Amino acid sequence: MSASFTVPRRYCGPPHSANGGWVSGHLARHVPTSTALPAVSVRLLSPPPLDRAMQVHPVADGGTEVADGVTPVLRAHAVGALSIDDVPAPVTYAAAVAAGAAYPGLHDHPFPTCFVCGTARTLGDALLLRPGPVNGHEVYAAAWVPTESAQELVWAALDCPGAWALGVGGRPMVLGTMAAQVLELPVVGAEHVVVAWPRGGQGRKHFSGTVLYTADGALLAHAEATWIDVDPAAVRPAT
């Protein structure tokens, strides 16, 4: 039996499609996990449309798929626990705030409408994360004080900082796959820090890691993502 799946326009990344992290987290709600398979991996197959009812249904390989009519949009599977071997140490909230002053998106943003990190959004309507380089560390960090708490928002917060750690400002890219494990939801009104770092690349593919910490350094969530280079002309408005 299929279920309905709609992405409200509020949760866009590019102007006409969903933020990859939010929509992946929304699909993750439909994926049963277990002690052996506590994380969820989501592959984006085509740009997820906004404000249009899609259908969620199981697929033959045991996964869960979202389709827009006959067009597959997302496919997800439960997977094993993500490794924490290369996870960076926590960054202080004050250091994350300072890093935000050097957020590259303030000067060069491929998707200024993005729900997570867009510079054309307003407080209360979006997360407004500002991932910037942390002095003395090979990581990016973003300060976050949630005004609401949900699995989709955690996935969203773990999404874009990874792209900025990979240099998305000068090299537009889109999310290809994302795997995340949410241990605990953040507390509304409390200070949190997202830390992101590059994990290498191959051709047009680039790999990132992100983690969500409380202000006192407790790990709440962890994600790994694959990003795909896109033609800059495809994301810049015509002049």
Q: Helix or strand or coil: residue 96?
A: helix
Take residue 121 and report the two structure tokens written for it.
Answer: 């959004």
pLDDT band, residue 2 (cuts 50/70/90)? low
Take residue 94 and report the two structure tokens written for it.
Answer: 């004050």
List own/partner pairs for 210-213 with CB under 8 A and 24 or more apart: 210/158, 210/159, 210/161, 210/162, 210/165, 211/87, 211/88, 211/158, 212/144, 212/154, 212/157, 212/158, 212/186, 213/90, 213/91
pLDDT band, residue 3 (cuts 50/70/90)? confident
Listed by start position, the domains of the chain span 3-79, 93-234
DSSP 18: B
Span 78-96, mean pLDDT?
95
pLDDT tens track for 129-168? 999 999 878 899 999 999 999 999 999 999 999 999 998 8
pLDDT band, residue 4 (cuts 50/70/90)? confident
Give the homologous superfamily in CATH for domain 3-79: Hotdog Thioesterase (3.10.129.10)
Span 29-47, mean pLDDT?
96
Task: Transcribe 166-234 into DSSP letters.
Answer: TTTTTS-EEEEEEEEEESSPPPTTS-EEEEEEEEEEETTEEEEEEEEEETT--EEEEEEEEEEE--GGG
Q: Which residues in 82-191 belong to E strands, given as ranges?
A: 132-133, 140-144, 173-182
Task: Give the pLDDT of residue 239.
Answer: 32
Does this chain's domain 3-79 share its CATH topology with 93-234?
A: yes
Using the predicted structure, report yes or no on whether residue 1 has a pLDDT greater than 60.
no
pLDDT tens track for 181-213? 999 999 999 999 999 999 998 888 999 999 999
pLDDT tens track for 48-85? 999 999 999 999 888 999 999 999 999 999 999 999 99
Task: Give the pLDDT of residue 29.
Answer: 94
Span 76-99, mean pLDDT?
96
Torsion-angle region of residue 93: left (phi > 0), alpha (psi -120 to 50) or beta? alpha
Q: What integer best gives the mean pLDDT of the chain?
A: 93
Nearest to 3 by CA among 54, 74, 72, 63: 54
> Which CATH architecture is the domain 93-234 placed in?
Roll (3.10)
